Amino acid sequence: MAEQVKVATTEDQFLKTGAQYKESLRDGRDVWEGGHKVDDVTEHPALGPGIDLMAEMFDAQFDPELRDITTYVDPVDGCRYSRSWQIPRTIQDLQDRRRLIEYTSLKTCGTFGRPPDLAPLVSVGLIARKPTFEGSNPPFAKNNPSFAKNIQSFYEYGRANNWIMAEILVDPQTDRSRPSSESPALLRVTAQEESGIRVKGAKSVGSIAAQANGILFTNLNRPDFPPEACIWAATPTASEGLRLLCREAVSHPGAASFDHPLASKGEEADQLLVFRDVLIPNDFVFNVGDPDLVRLYGPVILWVHWHILSRMWVKAKLFVGTAQAVVEALGTFSIPQVRAAIADLIEYEQTLKAFVIASENLAFLSEGGVMAPNMNMVTAGRLFSIASYPRIIHTVQEVCGQGLVMRFPESMFDNPETGQYLDELLPGNDITARDKVRLMNFAWDLTSSSLAGRTELFENVNATPAPFLRERLYAEVPKDEYLRMARDAAGV
Ligand SMILES: Cc1cc2nc3c(=O)[nH]c(=O)nc-3n(C[C@H](O)[C@H](O)[C@H](O)COP(=O)(O)OP(=O)(O)OC[C@H]3O[C@@H](n4cnc5c(N)ncnc54)[C@H](O)[C@@H]3O)c2cc1C
């Protein structure tokens, strides 16, 4: 069937439909997968299904029931934009923004850590810290007198074009015992031209880069960084000289939705990004040469981390729901140990809820006048969410028992030679064999498939692994009040 293209009205001039988003990806980008150059990412078996899923999120901007969740009207210019780009000025704005996070998280059952509404929050964070960027004018930066101006113009560009982006800081894994400045992978400025900077090197695990319009990238500060490696910028995915190498696919695109209710919907793909003297336009450069600005990464990325925490809460709800549906299907819900397992999942979910709500209720106005979730709540909540994650996955798997393995494809049900036995032997508590197996197929995709394996690895490290988070929490939380209480109580 021919794709229905929605025509944007004037009110919707800054919103893309799903079809327009897909069209925007047919831009000559240099993407490689399975040893071949990809002609059209939207049609590619490994990349296309994930793009289709995100296209539905774009179409949701025109759905009367989802419009207020997915879009907002800017009070200054009266135009409607994707809510992904909204700058929260009040706690209510943060809460409204979270409803979009809940929508995008549920759409992928949390398997996309970089859904379309994530990376615009980097831009929001840059706006929040703009006053600090305003003061920077390092001698190394020849043609970039105003990083703050670029932050603003990139924000305007991304919002007006309803862009989605990857967000990348990590370097390719080489020999970590050697100084990173010796690595050919370290991203560096090789030339400064009138229209922009030339950048050479590589970045790794660029989640969603090949399926997005652009890439936000930075080098995390290391003591040995030369000024040419202090970079924070953005670039279109289709930039000349930028080559994207996809890792092996982990989902099951093309599979029947019965067999893989989740993994058949595709995935966010990860890429190694090779910058071969890519020209980054001046307007998209937020730092070049200033090591102090690189250190702002943590404060800038706060809204992204709040997104991740909120998505983990949505996933926690999904884990509780899936486990409860399973124990009802198996009729094990009255066994005390099974009830205790579900209670464990609920405890995880309720704790994440508390972190999310507290992070919003304790929000503060940043120097740039942007409402910022409470950093300590976000960091502590994220640490709790990832440290408990393997146990939570294991608990969902445990209540499923053999059902997680003894799953059968729809074709086995459809063939009378086999289907009659499955229909007769496998029904559960008030549920047909088919529905019970479909539920287990979903639980498999969510907790145990290769898609789930990638998601579990992603959760553990995507926004820095637990050891880093512990150090960050220790450094961030002021300890004076605790000390005073303890010293007073001890009489010291
Ligand atoms: C599926 C997936 C998707 C991802 N998507 C993105 C993305 O979109 N954007 C992005 O920027 N990054 C992304 N990442 C990368 C992630 O940020 C990194 O994996 C993480 O920061 C750890 O860096 P590394 O993998 O290079 O670990 P390495 O530096 O190679 O170290 C390996 C391990 O050694 C340990 N280790 C190393 N150094 C220390 C230290 N100083 N203290 C304590 N322990 C240490 C840690 O356990 C670490 O995991 C993704 C990762 C995965 C798995």
Average pLDDT over residues 67-95: 96
**How far does residue 263's CA lie from ligand 1's centre (Å)?**
24
Q: Tokens in use for 48?
A: 């296309």
Residue 245 pairs in a beta bridge with 32, 272
Query: Residue 9: which pLDDT band, with cuts at 50, 70 and 90?
Result: low
Distance of alpha carbon 423 from alpha carbon 352, whole angstroms: 39
DSSP 171: P
Say if residue 389 is in the same domain as residue 321: yes
**How far does residue 343's CA lie from ligand 1's centre (Å)?**
32
Instruction: Please name which of 350, 304, 365, 377 lies closest in space to residue 120, comparing C-alpha atoms.
Output: 304
Say if residue 158 is in the same domain as residue 27: yes
Query: What is the reported pLDDT for 7?
Result: 47
Say if residue 130 is in the same domain as residue 216: yes
Query: What is the reported pLDDT for 354?
Result: 98
Report residue 171: phi and psi, to 5°: -95, 160
**Mean pLDDT score of the chain, rounded to an integer?**
94
Say if residue 221 is in the same domain as residue 316: no
Query: What is the reported pLDDT for 226?
Result: 86
Instruction: Please name which of 314, 294, 280 lies closest in space to residue 230, comparing C-alpha atoms.
Output: 294
Say if residue 117 is in the same domain as residue 187: yes
Say if residue 262 is in the same domain as residue 317: no
Query: What is the reported pLDDT for 145?
Result: 65
Q: Is 416 in the pocket of ligand 1 (CB under 6 A)?
A: no
Over the stretch 260-301, which tens digit does the pLDDT of each residue have?
Answer: 999 999 999 999 999 999 999 999 999 999 888 888 999 999
Ligand 1, atom 1, lies closest to the CA of 458
**How far does residue 341's CA lie from ligand 1's centre (Å)?**
31
Q: Are 447 and 316 in contact (CB under 8 A)?
A: no
Map tokens 């113009």 to a residue: 153
Using a 10 angstrom Cβ sphere, with 0-12 exposed, 13-18 middle and 19 or more buried, the burial of residue 206 is buried
What is the reported pTM? 0.95
Query: What is the reported pLDDT for 269?
Result: 97
Determine, yes or no, domain membership for 1: no
Q: What are the C-alpha distances in Å from 327 to residues 291, 423, 424?
A: 54, 19, 20
Q: Tokens in use for 73?
A: 């009207």
Query: Where does a domain end: 279, 296, 313?
Result: 296
Query: What is the reported pLDDT for 220?
Result: 82
Closest ligand 1 atom number to CA of residue 207: 8
Determine, yes or no, domain membership for 157: yes
Q: Is 455 in the pocket of ligand 1 (CB under 6 A)?
A: no
Residue-number span of the structural domain to which 219 is assigned: 7-296
Instruction: Please name which of 468, 376, 372, 374 lies closest in space to residue 121, comparing C-alpha atoms.
Output: 372
Query: Residue 10: which pLDDT band, with cuts at 50, 70 and 90?
Result: low
Average pLDDT over residues 15-23: 98
Query: Where does a domain end: 296, 311, 328?
Result: 296
Could you please report the per-residue DSSP string of 273-336?
EEEEEEEEEGGGEEEES-HHHHTTHHHHTHHHHHHHHHHHHHHHHHHHHHHHHHHHHHT-TTSH
Average pLDDT over residues 174-203: 91
Determine, yes or no, domain membership for 128: yes
Instruction: Please name which of 174, 263, 247, 264 lies closest in space to residue 210, comparing C-alpha atoms.
Output: 247
Q: Is 458 in the pocket of ligand 1 (CB under 6 A)?
A: yes
Say if residue 26 is in the same domain as residue 81: yes
Query: What is the reported pLDDT for 464?
Result: 86
Average pLDDT over residues 236-260: 96
Q: Is 167 in the pocket of ligand 1 (CB under 6 A)?
A: yes
Higher-confidence residue: 141 or 377? 377
What's the CATH number where 165 sits? 2.40.110.10
Ligand 1, atom 10, lies closest to the CA of 168
Q: Does position 491 have pLDDT exceeding 80, yes or no?
A: yes
Determine, yes or no, domain membership for 329: yes
Helix, strand, coil percent values for the chain (each to nearest 5)? 50, 15, 35
Q: Does position 5 have pLDDT exceeding 50, yes or no?
A: no
Determine, yes or no, domain membership for 2: no
Query: What is the reported pLDDT for 138?
Result: 82
Report residue 272: phi and psi, to 5°: -90, 130
Query: What is the reported pLDDT for 3?
Result: 41
Q: Which helix (H) or strand (E) segment is 378 a member of?
A: helix 375-400
Determine, yes or no, domain membership for 131: yes
Query: What is the reported pLDDT for 137?
Result: 79
Query: Residue 256: which pLDDT band, with cuts at 50, 70 and 90?
Result: very high
Instruction: Please name which of 328, 348, 426 lies closest in space to residue 389, comparing C-alpha atoms.
Output: 348
Distance of alpha carbon 371 from alpha carbon 93, whole angstroms: 8
Say if residue 239 is in the same domain as residue 307: no
What's the CATH number where 475 sits? 1.20.140.10
First to last CA, the chain: 78
Determine, yes or no, domain membership for 412: yes
Determine, yes or no, domain membership for 20: yes
Say if residue 228 is in the same domain as residue 305: no
Q: Is 402 in the pocket of ligand 1 (CB under 6 A)?
A: no
Say if residue 354 is in the same domain as residue 464: yes
Query: What is the reported pLDDT for 307?
Result: 98
Tally of structural domains, the chain: 2
Distance of alpha carbon 294 from alpha carbon 63, whole angstroms: 40
Say if residue 254 is in the same domain as residue 323: no
Q: Does position 1 have pLDDT exceeding 50, yes or no?
A: no
Q: What percent of the chain has pLDDT over 70?
A: 97
Over the stretch 37-54, which tens digit does the pLDDT of each residue have?
Answer: 999 999 999 999 999 999
Over the stretch 346-360, which tens digit does the pLDDT of each residue have?
Answer: 999 999 999 999 999
Average pLDDT over residues 408-432: 97
Q: What percent of the chain has pLDDT over 90?
A: 87
Higher-confidence residue: 464 or 118? 118
Q: Is 208 in the pocket of ligand 1 (CB under 6 A)?
A: no
Q: Which helix (H) or strand (E) segment is 82 a member of?
A: strand 80-82
- Cα 389 to chain centroid distance, Å, stands at 17
Q: Which amino acid would we find at residue 221? A: N
Say if residue 307 is in the same domain as residue 275: no
**How far does residue 460's CA lie from ligand 1's centre (Å)?**
9
Instruction: Please name which of 217, 138, 214, 129 lies closest in space to residue 171, comparing C-alpha atoms.
Output: 217
Sort strands 30-33 and 242-246 into parallel, antiparallel or unpaired: parallel
Query: Where does a domain end: 265, 296, 327?
Result: 296
Average pLDDT over residues 447-471: 94
Q: What are the C-alpha distances in Å from 484 to residues 323, 474, 476, 478, 490?
A: 45, 17, 18, 12, 10
